[in-house]
């Protein structure tokens, strides 16, 4: 056994030197001459060991091949490796020969060979320094390491063990192999010479305590591999000792005459020598363990900790008698709580190697009891790899001892079979299989092996599986359970014969009868096993997608599909016959035919079973009105009617007969219902509704236009609209059936060569149906309104301008464009039914607190909003209608944020300028609503104003960082915002601010998206609306105007900088300086060329569509009527008004270009006047203008309202930072606040401990 004493590896008379020393100690190397060389102190050299050479002998001895006397290698040919490090790194030579060469060198000169080995470890750490022979002879290890630390290359943090690439990956393997081979080759003599191992262990101990990570990492790996090799030597010695002892005992027990005394003496001598060697090895291992392992298993670097744990696992498995005890197991147990998943993973794998051996379980019993709870809890580790290995370890513990795990421990693992992460689920499935489905009685298994069906060994196991599935109470996840067990229990899950017999046959005497719930669960599991076998890939939500099957997997899939088809072709009709009254069971059973190989019907002459199946499906259709069952029947008919199979004609005849019967029944019942009118009873309503449900379900997947169900459905809808007495379910089904009829007619027309009469006939049908749907939007029944809305959106999408794409210009008569009235009704419907308060939602749901109902209601509302958003995206509804959608982005972000964001993105791709106008329109609507609620005097610090500003900030972020692409759109947005702010005058007089002036503070959020030259243009446009009095005002009430002007002047051509954006501009400057600035003249040319390009585009660029205010009550700005009446300006007197912008052709060109033209013309006139008249008055005028331009407009504001300006500074800083290059800014923005528009700033939180389960 390893002794508890740590051998002191030091020079005689010197204390062990610790490397945890101060920098002052590193500076003073001291005089080290005259010190004795390293060796094992206190013990003279063994008589059979080679004596040490004197320095003169070392100098005269022949140096080994390729090595210089100073420890440096000598190169013979160009390109040959010259050092031990290079030889190992290249790995071209066999490691055995490399080690043999070193041993030969060691026999010739121990110091020179050890110097090579020392330099090998130093160079493997990435150090550029070299240990000289003088340093080796005269300096302590600590001093050598200090010297090497000073010569370490600090420019790079990489070293051979951390550098990526195949070469360095191979180096790590070669490095470990070299150490292992070295000990193996030296195990019979050299490692016992009390010099080589002492020197190496002393060096590695010192390096492992270094502050340099490279030294610590490399030396720890070397020491752990060295220890592993020594453990192997110790194990061999132990075996030899046992053999020698047996030989000695056998010889001694012989009779005196036959006993060989000489042999006994030799065996006794050999046993003594082996014991001495064993003691030596144990001392070495003890030195490494206590000197290195005990300190490094707690190292700050996770990779070093992982190395230690991995190797101690090897020792315990290799030499269990010495290491597999609680003294060593405790280190692995403690490290199970490590912060890093990499280390926890090594712990689990080390334990797996131990628990695999059943003979070791008694030694692991105490450890299992102590750390079992921690291991079980690690099955929920946040690192999936760790969780998988923890489950596998728990499975091994279960295999070794049934009593080791409690029922609670097992239940913690059971539910993981429903995990969304497939490796975790599969590992949990293996555990479940071992716990519940493993057969432990070989005799009983042999007796039951010949039985089949319900009496087979799988009969009870399938019952147990059903019970487990029901007790888990996750009945919607049967596919996940089957997928988890598929690899470990595939034989059980493919025993469809046993499953069928359990469902069909009566139980034998003494056997428990399956309950109704158990039968339903077994049918669901059976269908899931059939799907898994036929498709051979995991269910949706588990896995990254369909992978390519190997040849073996493909063959297994084909065999399984043939097997299940042959069995269920005969069994399915019987199952349907037994359960035809149970809608849930029938709906599951009717999924089975879609996994059939339908060629088996004709190839196996099994048409009679097909007839039986069709007969049962017809019975099901006649007995059920449940939508799920009817759709399953319809889908089954559709699969069986595939033209590629020969059974198509037989199935088509059966389907036609069924539809004929339903059509006659429907026409007759409709006539009776319409004739009865308001006197219709429940039977009349039921007859129509039940038949209409069946026809609607079949019309979805089958072309039933030859029966013309549209006519009677339309009659029912018209009657309901006129009389208002049609039951809502009939109306909903009639709408759906009519919709399917129209779509099938469109399919016929697009696939053939329609005549003009056919097109006109379909147009009349579509027009009449759209009118009915529009009238149904005002129905009192919510399901009818929602159905009509969804169908309207779908049909407007289908019969839009995209119908004629792809060389289908002949379908032009079928295009329908919604008028403003219909657009208005659709928008109002979305606003009334999607954007509702939480209280309204709870009232609409009722008093039930069922979470499922809330989720379903939210799902419906999302569908309504998505349907309308598609109309906006595809330019079917005017884009300004989206303003009412965009303004709810912040309030309803959790419910509809993704839909609104996608709508905004798509509309910007369609028309940037119109999208910008829509964004500012939505902000104006919110501002007007706020004015109506709070009056003309707004509290600028209120949450409502902050909400509008935050929404504007989010909108600004959507413009991205490429200001050139969004240049005109942003400028147009500012123009509309300025006109809105100055739209009305204050009735108190011009000295008071306009009522909408506070909107400029919202507009400030978009200033950072303007180019510098465009800021000046927008500022000039702003000054057109400002009077001289406005420019001089500095009161708090004028702060919106002041801050907006400041945001436009910041970063412009003027030399004045805003006090509010100083920090932002400094950030921008620091980042831009890294890229370098172009020459000033070059930048000016570029700016002039950009401006010129906008000027030249005046004649060609037109806005894609004029932003006319639509006649939609929800989209028009909700203005205060009294305010509008008092302050409505004369349209003819206001240049640049909204109406001018919309209707003036010149205004529809580039507004920026026009502003530049006006600015240039004004400058030219000013210059000409200045040249013509040099009088003092003119000069005074010009000087006055210049002084006005240079006036620091914020000086008074700073003194009057410093606190408010600091708030503005924060807003501007946050906005201006967005313009910086992403290289520095991404992380800062993410830390400030999440940007839900910028995908680069969206950070997924993966720090949770538990895993997503479903």
Q: Which of 132-141, 444-453, 905-914 has the lowest mean pLDDT?
A: 444-453
Tell me the C-alpha distance between 1014 and 883, whole Å: 25
3-state secondary structure of 626: coil
Each residue's pLDDT tens digit, 977-1013? 999 999 888 888 777 888 888 999 999 999 999 998 8
DSSP character for 293?
I
- Whether the pLDDT of residue 1122 is over 60: the answer is no
DSSP character for 835?
S
pLDDT value at position 576? 95
1094's CB contacts (< 8 A; 6+ apart) are 967, 968, 1150, 1152, 1153, 1156
3-state secondary structure of 862: helix
Tell me the C-alpha distance between 612 and 962, whole Å: 67
Segment 731-747 shows an average pLDDT of 95
Exposure of 1142 in the CB half-sphere (CA atoms within 13 A): 12
pLDDT value at position 299? 94
Percent of the chain with pLDDT over 70: 74
- Tracing tokens 């000990």 back to the chain, one arrives at 183
Q: Provide φ and ψ at 1231, rounded to 5°.
A: -75, -30
Instruction: Give the highest mean pLDDT range of 347-361, 835-849, 1049-1063.
Output: 347-361
pLDDT value at position 309? 96
- Which has the closest alpha carbon to 425: 476, 497, 483, 479? 483
- Whether the pLDDT of residue 233 is over 70: the answer is yes
- Tracing tokens 């997928």 back to the chain, one arrives at 483
- Whether the pLDDT of residue 1051 is over 70: the answer is no
pLDDT value at position 370? 94
pLDDT tier, 22 (very low <50, low <70, confident <90, very high otherwise): very low
Segment 162-177 shows an average pLDDT of 89
3-state secondary structure of 51: coil
**Measuring CA to CA, how many Å separate 1181 from each of 1022, 1175, 1184, 1185?**
22, 10, 5, 6
- Whether the pLDDT of residue 380 is over 60: the answer is yes
Tell me the C-alpha distance between 719 and 726, whole Å: 7
Tell me the C-alpha distance between 799 and 815, whole Å: 5
Buried residues in 1108-1123 as b, exposed as e (16+ CB within 10 A): eebebebbbebbbeeb
- Tracing tokens 């303003």 back to the chain, one arrives at 883
Tell me the C-alpha distance between 1040 and 953, whole Å: 16
CB 492 within 8 A of CB 461: yes
Tell me the C-alpha distance between 274 and 1037, whole Å: 98
Each residue's pLDDT tens digit, 333-344? 999 999 999 999
pLDDT value at position 1111? 37
Tell me the C-alpha distance between 276 and 288, whole Å: 19
- Tracing tokens 């946050």 back to the chain, one arrives at 1214
- Whether the pLDDT of residue 97 is over 50: the answer is yes
pLDDT value at position 1162? 61
> Where is pLDDT greater, at 959 or 1214?
959
Instruction: Look up residue 594 and give its two tokens.
Output: 């879609």
Tell me the C-alpha distance between 1043 and 1060, whole Å: 9
Tell me the C-alpha distance between 515 and 521, whole Å: 10
Instruction: Give the highest mean pLDDT range of 318-332, 431-445, 800-814.
Output: 318-332
Each residue's pLDDT tens digit, 521-560? 999 999 999 999 999 899 988 876 677 889 999 999 999 9
pLDDT value at position 869? 96
Helix 341-355 to helix 326-335 angle (10° resolution) is: 140
- Which has the closest alpha carbon to 1014: 1219, 1151, 920, 908? 1151
Each residue's pLDDT tens digit, 638-671? 999 988 888 999 999 999 999 999 999 999 999 9
Give 301: exposed, middle or buried? Use CB within 10 Å, 0-12, 13-18, 19+.
middle
pLDDT value at position 1170? 44
Segment 857-869 shows an average pLDDT of 95
Instruction: Look up residue 1074 and give its two tokens.
Output: 């890294």
**Measuring CA to CA, how many Å separate 430 from each of 349, 378, 399?**
17, 17, 11
Tell me the C-alpha distance between 1115 and 1241, whole Å: 32
Instruction: Look up residue 580 and give its two tokens.
Output: 């035809």
**Measuring CA to CA, how many Å separate 1015 from each of 538, 998, 1050?**
57, 20, 8
Q: What share of the chain is helix, strand, coil (3-state, %, to 5)?
A: 70, 0, 30
904's CB contacts (< 8 A; 6+ apart) are 882, 886, 889, 915, 919, 958
294 sits in which H/E element: helix 294-296
Tell me the C-alpha distance between 288 and 783, whole Å: 78
674's CB contacts (< 8 A; 6+ apart) are 715, 716, 719
DSSP 96-123: HHHHHHHHHHHHH-HHHHHHHHHHHHHH
Neighbours of 156 (CB within 10 A): 8
**Measuring CA to CA, how many Å separate 661 from each of 619, 636, 664?**
13, 19, 5
Q: What angle do CA 729, 733, 734 make, to 5 degrees?
A: 115
Each residue's pLDDT tens digit, 121-168? 999 998 888 888 888 888 888 889 888 888 876 666 788 888 888 888
Instruction: Look up residue 293 and give its two tokens.
Output: 């392992």
- Whether the pLDDT of residue 689 is over 60: the answer is yes
> Where is pLDDT greater, at 71 or 655?
655
413's CB contacts (< 8 A; 6+ apart) are 376, 379, 391, 394, 428, 431, 432
CB 937 within 8 A of CB 880: no
- Whether the pLDDT of residue 1161 is over 70: the answer is no
pLDDT tier, 510 (very low <50, low <70, confident <90, very high otherwise): low
**Alpha-carbon dihedral of residues 235, 239, 240, 241, nearest 10 degrees?**
100
pLDDT value at position 1151? 60
Tell me the C-alpha distance between 55 and 67, whole Å: 17
Q: Provide φ and ψ at 67, rounded to 5°.
A: -125, 140
Instruction: Look up residue 86 and give its two tokens.
Output: 């290079």
First to last CA, the chain: 52
- Whether the pLDDT of residue 1199 is over 60: the answer is no
Q: Provide φ and ψ at 73, rounded to 5°.
A: -80, 155
Each residue's pLDDT tens digit, 1078-1107? 444 444 334 443 343 333 333 333 333 333
Neighbours of 865 (CB within 10 A): 22
- Tracing tokens 């037994």 back to the chain, one arrives at 578
Tell me the C-alpha distance between 136 and 200, whole Å: 12
Each residue's pLDDT tens digit, 792-806? 999 999 999 989 888
3-state secondary structure of 1158: helix
């Amino acid at each position: 056994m390893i002794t508890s004493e740590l051998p002191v590896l030091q020079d005689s008379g010197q204390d062990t030197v610790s490397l945890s020393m101060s920098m002052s100690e590193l500076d003073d190397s001291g005089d080290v001459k005259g010190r004795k060389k390293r060796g094992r102190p206190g013990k003279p050299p063994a008589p059979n060991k080679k004596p040490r050479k004197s320095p003169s002998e070392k100098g005269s001895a022949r140096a080994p091949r390729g090595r210089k006397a100073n420890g440096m290698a000598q190169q013979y040919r160009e390109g040959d490796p010259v050092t031990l490090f290079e030889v190992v790194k290249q790995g071209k030579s066999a490691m055995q020969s490399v080690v043999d060469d070193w041993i030969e060198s060691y026999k010739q000169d121990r110091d020179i060979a050890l110097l090579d080995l020392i330099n090998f470890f130093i160079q493997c750490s990435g150090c550029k320094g070299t240990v000289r022979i003088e340093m080796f002879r005269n300096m302590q290890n600590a001093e050598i390491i200090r010297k090497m630390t000073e010569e370490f290359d600090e420019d790079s943090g990489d070293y051979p063990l951390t550098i990526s690439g195949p070469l360095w990956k191979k180096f790590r393997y070669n490095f470990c192999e070299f150490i292992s081979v070295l000990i193996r080759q030296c195990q019979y003599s050299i490692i016992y010479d009390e010099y080589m191992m002492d020197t190496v262990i002393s060096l590695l101990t010192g390096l492992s305590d270094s502050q340099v990570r490279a030294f610590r990492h490399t030396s720890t790996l070397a020491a752990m591999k060295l220890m592993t090799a020594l453990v192997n030597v110790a194990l061999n010695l132990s075996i030899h000792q046992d053999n020698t002892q047996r030989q000695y005992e056998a010889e001694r027990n012989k009779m005196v005459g036959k006993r060989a005394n000489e042999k006994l003496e030799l065996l006794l001598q050999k046993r003594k020598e082996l014991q001495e060697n064993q003691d030596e090895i144990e001392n070495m291992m003890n030195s490494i363990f206590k000197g290195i392992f005990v300190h490094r298993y707690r190292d700050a670097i996770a990779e070093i900790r992982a190395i230690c744990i991995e190797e101690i696992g090897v020792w315990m498995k290799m030499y269990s008698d010495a290491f597999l005890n609680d003294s060593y197991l405790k280190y692995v147990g403690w490290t199970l709580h490590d912060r890093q998943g990499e280390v926890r993973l090594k712990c689990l794998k080390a334990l797996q190697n131990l628990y695999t051996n059943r003979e070791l379980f008694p030694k692991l019993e105490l450890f299992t009891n102590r750390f079992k709870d921690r291991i079980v809890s690690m099955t929920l580790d946040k690192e999936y790899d760790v969780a998988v290995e923890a489950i596998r370890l728990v499975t091994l513990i279960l295999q070794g001892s049934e009593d080791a795990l409690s029922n609670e421990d097992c239940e913690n693992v059971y539910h993981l079979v429903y995990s969304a992460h497939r490796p975790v689920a599969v590992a949990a499935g293996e555990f479940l299989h071992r716990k519940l489905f493993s057969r432990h009685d070989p005799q009983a298994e042999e007796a039951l092996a010949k039985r089949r069906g319900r009496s087979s060994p799988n009969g009870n196991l399938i019952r147990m599986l059903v019970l487990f599935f029901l007790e888990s109470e996750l009945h919607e996840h049967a596919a996940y359970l089957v997928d988890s067990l598929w690899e470990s229990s595939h034989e059980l899950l493919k025993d469809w014969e046993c499953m069928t017999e359990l469902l069909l046959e009566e139980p034998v005497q003494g056997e428990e009868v399956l309950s109704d719930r158990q039968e339903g669960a077994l049918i669901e599991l059976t269908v899931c096993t059939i799907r898994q076998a036929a498709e051979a890939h995991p269910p949706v939500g588990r896995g990254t997608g369909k992978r390519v099957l190997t040849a073996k997997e493909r063959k297994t899939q084909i065999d399984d599909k043939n097997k299940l088809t042959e069995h269920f072709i005969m069994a399915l009709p019987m199952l349907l016959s037994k359960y035809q009254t149970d809608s849930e069971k029938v709906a599951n059973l009717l999924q089975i035919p879609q996994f059939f190989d339908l060629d088996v019907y004709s190839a196996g002459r099994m048409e009679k079973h097909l007839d039986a199946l069709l007969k049962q499906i017809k019975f099901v259709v006649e007995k059920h009105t449940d939508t799920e069952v009817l759709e399953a029947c319809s889908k089954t008919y559709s699969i069986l009617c595939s033209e590629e199979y020969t059974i198509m004609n037989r199935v088509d005849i059966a389907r036609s007969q069924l539809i004929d019967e339903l059509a006659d029944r429907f026409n007759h019942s409709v006539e009776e219902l319409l004739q009865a009118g308001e006197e219709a009873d429940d039977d009349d309503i039921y007859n129509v509704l039940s038949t209409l449900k069946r026809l609607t379900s079949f019309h979805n997947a089958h072309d039933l236009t030859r029966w013309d169900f549209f006519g009677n459905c339309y009659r029912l809808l018209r009657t309901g609209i006129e009389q208002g007495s049609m039951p809502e379910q009939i109306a909903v089904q009639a709408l759906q059936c009519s919709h399917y009829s129209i779509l099938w007619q469109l399919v016929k027309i697009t696939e053939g060569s329609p005549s003009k009469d056919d097109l006109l006939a379909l147009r009349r049908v579509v027009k009449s149906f759209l009118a009915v749907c529009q009238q149904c939007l005002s129905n009192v029944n919510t399901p009818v309104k929602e159905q009509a809305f969804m169908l309207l959106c779908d049909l407007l999408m289908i019969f839009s301008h995209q119908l004629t794409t792809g060389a289908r210009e002949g379908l032009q008569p079928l295009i329908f464009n919604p008028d403003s009235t219909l657009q208005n009704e659709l928008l109002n419907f979305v606003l009334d039914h999607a954007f509702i308060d939480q209280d309204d939602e709870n009232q609409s749901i009722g008093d039930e607190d069922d979470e499922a109902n809330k989720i379903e209601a939210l799902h419906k509302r999302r569908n309504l909003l998505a349907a309308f958003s598609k109309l906006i995206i595809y330019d079917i509804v005017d884009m300004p209608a989206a303003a009412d959608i965009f303004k709810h982005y912040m309030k309803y972000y959790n419910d509809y944020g993704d839909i609104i964001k996608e709508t905004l993105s798509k509309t910007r791709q369609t028309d940037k300028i119109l999208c910008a106008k829509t964004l500012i329109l939505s902000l104006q609507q919110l501002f007007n609503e706020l004015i109506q609620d709070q009056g003309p005097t707004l509290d600028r610090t209120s949450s409502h104003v902050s909400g509008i500003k935050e929404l504007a900030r989010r909108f600004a972020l959507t413009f991205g960082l490429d200001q050139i692409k969004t240049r005109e759109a942003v400028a147009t947005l500012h123009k509309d915002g300025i006109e809105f702010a100055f739209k009305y005058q204050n009735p108190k007089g011009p000295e008071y601010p306009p009522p909408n002036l506070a909107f400029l503070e919202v507009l400030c959020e978009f200033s950072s998206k303007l180019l510098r030259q465009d800021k000046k243009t927008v500022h000039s446009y702003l000054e057109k609306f400002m009077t001289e009095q406005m420019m001089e005002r500095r009161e708090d009430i004028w702060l919106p105007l002041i801050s907006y002007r400041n945001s436009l002047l910041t970063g412009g051509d003027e030399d004045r900088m805003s006090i509010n954006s100083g920090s932002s501009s400094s950030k921008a400057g620091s980042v831009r300086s890294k890229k370098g600035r172009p020459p000033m003249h070059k930048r000016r040319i570029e700016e002039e060329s950009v401006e010129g390009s906008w000027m030249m585009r005046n004649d060609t660029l037109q806005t894609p569509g004029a932003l006319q205010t639509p006649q939609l009550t929800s989209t028009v700005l909700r203005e205060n009527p009294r305010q509008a009446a008092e302050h409505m300006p004369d349209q003819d007197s206001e240049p640049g008004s909204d109406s001018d912008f919309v209707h003036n052709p010149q205004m529809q060109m580039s507004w920026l270009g026009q502003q530049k033209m006006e600015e240039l013309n004004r400058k030219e006139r000013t210059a000409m006047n200045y040249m013509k008249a040099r009088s003092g008055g003119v000069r005074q005028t010009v000087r006055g203008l210049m002084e006005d331009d240079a006036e620091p407009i914020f000086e008074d504001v700073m003194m009057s309202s410093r606190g408010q300006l600091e708030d503005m500074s924060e807003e501007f800083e946050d906005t201006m930072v967005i313009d910086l290059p992403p290289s520095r800014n991404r992380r800062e923005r993410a830390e400030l606040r999440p940007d839900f528009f910028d995908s680069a700033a969206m950070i997924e939180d993966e720090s949770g401990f538990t895993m997503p389960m479903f």
